[in-house]
Amino acid sequence: MQKIELGVPDRQVRLGGTELVLIAGPCVIESENHAATLARQIHDISERQQIPFIFKASFDKANRTSVNAYRGPGLTEGLRILAAIKQELGVPILTDIHEPTQAKLVSEVVDVIQIPAFLSRQTDLITAAAMTGCSINLKKGQFLAPDDMRHAIEKVVHTGNHKVFVTERGTTFGYHNLVVDMRSFQMLRTLGYPVVFDITHSLQLPGGGQGASSGQAEFITSLASAGVAAGVDGVFLEVHDSPNQAKSDGKNACPLDQLESLLIRLKRLSVASRKDD
């Protein structure tokens, strides 16, 4: 299993090691104050629970359902905010890109470049991201089988960059619905790279909210527990202090006040699932 090390030497985050890693943050940067405050609060929780933490937030949600939906502050302002959070907290940063031309600028700030699920077959986007030398998070497309991700991984590795991991986020199941096949985690791990479970997006109901996506956040604990028990290397959670007021994906976001109890549960499950490894 390939291991990926992120962050500064004295605060290393290792993905693919023995510890469960948390990737968490708001879906989109709503404001500098909101993103920074939420990052501090999640960081404090991760420190108390001794869970390695990567902060995630998007500077632009280019695939929103409606043309009128909030997309974020944009590339320049978004990277400035992410850089400030990284400087203050010393944690690795993850964000997504949608165009190859964004890769180089983003790589100067973040530690992980994420390829969105809808774009997981876009060769030019994947190779541009990989050539920066950043770690690459490949979101598995909702339309792909687990084994299909070997081709996306090869697009990264072909550039000489082996710092890649795959994130499961559910498979399209009829209209406005996703389902997670728990066999997927074992299948993805056979590809030889770390596997992360995007719990909150797996509970999204794409386009099911009258011009926006809806979701089923009430199932976060159940789905997260099953995935961690299946042996994933990390969990991806979109977290918000007030999901009902979130500007994107609030219906499937993990409420901040429920995060710590969830992580306590998931850490115990992770330890138990790895006893025989």
Mean pLDDT of 96-116: 98
Quote the pLDDT of residue 214: 80
Task: Tell me how far apart the alpha carbons of residues 64 and 5 are, in angstroms, rounded to a whole number.
Answer: 32
Residue 239 has pLDDT above 70, yes or no: yes
Task: Tell me how far apart the alpha carbons of residues 83 and 63 are, in angstroms, rounded to a whole number.
Answer: 24
Tens digit of pLDDT for each residue in 259-271? 999 999 999 999 9
Mean pLDDT of 62-66: 83
Categorize the per-residue pLDDT at 1 as very low, low, confident or very high, splitting at 50, 70 and 90.
confident
Is 117:149 a contact under the CB 8 Å cutoff?
no
Beta bridge partners of 23: 54, 236
Mean pLDDT of 119-146: 97
Quote the pLDDT of residue 208: 65
DSSP conformation class of 272:
H
Quote the pLDDT of residue 273: 86
**Per-domain residue ranges for the chain?**
4-273
Two structure tokens written together for 262: 């969830």
Residue 154 has pLDDT above 70, yes or no: yes
DSSP states of 100-122 as a string?
A: GGGHHHHHTT-SEEEEPGGGTT-
Tens digit of pLDDT for each residue in 23-40? 999 999 999 999 999 999
Alpha-helical segments (H) within the chain: 32-49, 75-89, 103-107, 123-130, 149-157, 183-189, 199-202, 220-229, 256-273
Cα-based distances in Å from 154 to 98, 102, 162, 187? 19, 21, 9, 16
Strands 204-205 and 214-215 turn out to be antiparallel
Residue 71 has pLDDT above 90, yes or no: yes
Helical (H) or strand (E) element with 254: strand 254-255
Categorize the per-residue pLDDT at 168 as very low, low, confident or very high, splitting at 50, 70 and 90.
very high
Beta bridge partners of 113: 95, 136
Categorize the per-residue pLDDT at 276 as very low, low, confident or very high, splitting at 50, 70 and 90.
low
Quote the pLDDT of residue 249: 85
The predicted model scores a pTM of 0.95
As a residue count, the chain comes to 277
Burial class from Cβ neighbours inside 10 Å (0-12, 13-18, 19+) for residue 210 reads: exposed
Residue 45, amino acid: I
Task: Tell me how far apart the alpha carbons of residues 163 and 44 are, in angstroms, rounded to a whole number.
Answer: 27
Tens digit of pLDDT for each residue in 190-222? 999 999 999 999 999 887 665 667 878 999 999
Two structure tokens written together for 150: 């070997």
Backbone dihedral angles phi then psi of residue 229, each to the nearest 5 degrees = -60, -30
CATH of 4-273 among 3.40.50.150, 3.40.50.1820, 3.40.50.720, 3.20.20.70: 3.20.20.70
CA 58-63-66 angle, to 5 degrees, is 115
**Phi and psi based region of residue 86 (left: phi greater than 0; alpha: psi -120 to 50; beta: remaining):** alpha
CA 9-25-8 angle, to 5 degrees, is 5
DSSP conformation class of 86:
H
Residue 167 has pLDDT above 80, yes or no: yes
